[in-house]
């Protein structure tokens, strides 16, 4: 019995030992598998970290492409900057040429076109060119008078003095010839329609519309505003004189109420008062109501755009208000410059008139530009 127990103990010990062997073997097998998996994973990671030669080549090609693109971009930018500089320089040259030609009235009227194009104000550009085109015949007539004065080197006196001792035929011919009056003391009020391409069109309307178009074609001195300025400055009408010119107009017969076309003489007027007062009133004589309205009209689109650009309602009002101020300054400075410049030099005859208007327009545009640059709009 004892021997049997001893045998069982030995078998159990052997069984435990064998079981431990199996566990150890299994652990070694598992450890070997883990090591193998770890090695494989490390190898894969190392393989992933070793870039392929083709990948290097692709990266280099992409880099070279971007380098070429960057170089091309730099060259294009340099070319664009060069073109911008040339455009600015050309624009300045154009302005300088227009300024030099400003005594030639048609060029003076389009002096602001380069700046309007620069600001992309295409409606204003078209409007300015349209006005210059409509008034071209009268502008050429004034330019021709100035050229005659230069060529003949004489400043004609008044019609009465000029025709003294001449034959009736000479006087009849003189009626159709302009610029034969005393420029030092008398000035002809300007007209928007007279002598322009509009004149024959308006004269075809032998009715109340043609009549009122002529009636409202007046210089600012003949408006209520002008009369108040004249009274304020204590400037009085001191005389009237024939200019030797007559133009067709639509007139009305007060007795019958009928409208008809008739040639009407053009007169020059003399003013008395202080030098400053006469200068201002002469400037108002040279500024027409239609002309002022036309200049304000071509500014309307830019004002409308200024009100529509910002999204915020308050910003719209501010932006639109600024643009309105800029437009008003532009119109007023232009009209004032032309009127005052022409009035100041008109005693020197047609040459003085056109040169004065040209210089005045350049100065007015310069002042307007300087002020407008300080009023920022979107």
Q: In what order do the strands lie in the sheet with 236-252?
A: 186-187, 259-272, 236-252
Whether residue 158 lies inside any domain: the answer is: yes
Q: pLDDT tens digits for 316-329?
A: 888 888 889 998 99
Tokens of 169: 């035929």
DSSP per position, 123-186: HHHHHHHHHHHHTHHHHHHHHHHHHHHHHHT-----HHHHTTT--HHHHHHHHTS---S-TTTE
Percent of the chain with pLDDT over 90: 27
pLDDT band at 353; cut points 50, 70, 90: confident
pLDDT of residue 106: 76
Q: How many domains does the chain have?
A: 2
Same domain, residue pair 120 and 252 = yes
Contact 372, 332 (CB under 8 A): no
**Higher-pLDDT residue of 370, 191:** 191
Q: 21-59: per-residue pLDDT in tens?
A: 455 555 555 454 555 555 555 545 555 555 555 666 766
User: Which of 50, 69, 88 finishes a domain?
Assistant: 50
- Residue 45: the pLDDT is 52
Structural domain includes residue 64:
no
The verdict on 39 and 157 lying in the same domain is no
What value does the mean pLDDT take over residues 325-353? 88
Give domain status of residue 126, yes or no. Answer: yes
Domain of residue 150: give its range: 101-373
Do 46 and 108 belong together in one domain?
Answer: no
Whether residues 253 and 168 share a domain: the answer is: yes
36 and 107 co-located in one domain: no
Whether 9 is in a domain gets the answer yes
Q: Are residues 16 and 163 in the same domain?
A: no
In a domain, 55, yes or no: no
Q: Where are the beta strands (DSSP E) in 58-132?
A: none
182 and 35 both lie in a single domain:
no
- What is the model's pLDDT at position 236? 92
* End-of-domain residue from the set 10, 30, 50: 50
Residue 88 lies in a domain: no
**Looking at residue 53, what is its pLDDT?**
58
Best-predicted range by mean pLDDT (308-312, 315-319, 355-359): 355-359
In this predicted structure, which of 175-179, 296-300, 348-352 has the lowest mean pLDDT?
175-179
Statement to judge: residues 272 and 195 lie in one domain: yes
Decide if 96 is inside a domain. no
Residues 24 and 125 in one domain: no
pLDDT at 198: 93
115 and 45 belong to one structural domain: no
Does 292 fall in a domain? yes
Average pLDDT over residues 280-290: 94
Q: What is the pLDDT of residues 152-205, one digit of tens each?
A: 765 544 444 444 444 444 444 444 444 456 777 888 999 999 999 999 999 999
For residues 197-228, one letter each, b for 16 or more C-beta atoms within 10 angstroms of the residue's C-beta and e for the rest, the string is ebbeebbebeeeebbebbeebbbbbbeeebee
């Amino acid at each position: 019995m004892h021997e049997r127990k001893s045998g069982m103990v030995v078998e159990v010990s052997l069984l435990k030992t064998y079981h431990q062997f199996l566990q150890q073997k299994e652990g070694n097998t598992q450890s070997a598998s883990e090591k193998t998996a770890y090695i494989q994973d490390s190898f894969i990671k190392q393989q992933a970290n070793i870039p392929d030669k083709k990948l290097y080549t692709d990266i280099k090609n992409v880099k070279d492409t971007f380098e070429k693109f960057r170089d091309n971009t730099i060259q294009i930018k340099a070319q664009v900057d060069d073109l911008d500089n040339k455009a600015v320089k050309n624009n300045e040259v154009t302005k300088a040429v227009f300024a030099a030609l400003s005594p030639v009235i048609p060029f003076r009227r389009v002096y602001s076109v380069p700046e309007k194009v620069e600001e992309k104000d295409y409606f204003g550009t078209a409007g300015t060119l349209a006005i210059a085109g409509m008034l071209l015949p009268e502008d050429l007539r004034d330019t021709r008078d100035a050229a005659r004065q230069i060529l003949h080197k004489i400043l004609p006196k008044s019609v009465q003095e000029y025709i003294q001792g001449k034959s009736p035929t000479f006087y009849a011919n003189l009626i159709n010839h302009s610029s034969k009056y005393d420029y030092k003391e008398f000035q002809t009020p300007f007209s928007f329609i007279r002598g322009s391409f509009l004149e024959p069109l308006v004269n075809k309307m032998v009715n109340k519309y043609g009549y009122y178009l002529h009636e409202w074609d007046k210089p600012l001195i003949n408006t209520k505003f002008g009369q108040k300025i004249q009274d304020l400055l204590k400037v009085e009408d001191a005389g009237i004189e024939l200019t030797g010119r007559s133009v067709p107009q639509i007139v009305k017969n007060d007795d019958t109420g009928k409208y008809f076309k008739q040639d009407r003489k053009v007169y020059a007027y003399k003013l008395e008062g202080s030098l400053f007062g006469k200068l201002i009133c002469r400037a108002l004589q040279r500024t027409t109501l239609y002309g002022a309205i036309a200049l304000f009209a071509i500014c309307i689109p830019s004002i409308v755009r200024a009100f529509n650009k910002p999204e915020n309602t308050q910003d719209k009002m501010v932006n639109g208000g600024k643009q309105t101020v800029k437009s008003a300054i532009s119109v007023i400075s232009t009209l004032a410059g032309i009127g005052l410049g022409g009035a100041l030099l008109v005693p020197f005859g047609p040459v003085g008139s056109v040169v004065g208007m040209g210089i005045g327009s350049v100065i007015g545009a310069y002042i307007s530009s300087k002020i407008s640059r300080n009023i920022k709009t979107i």
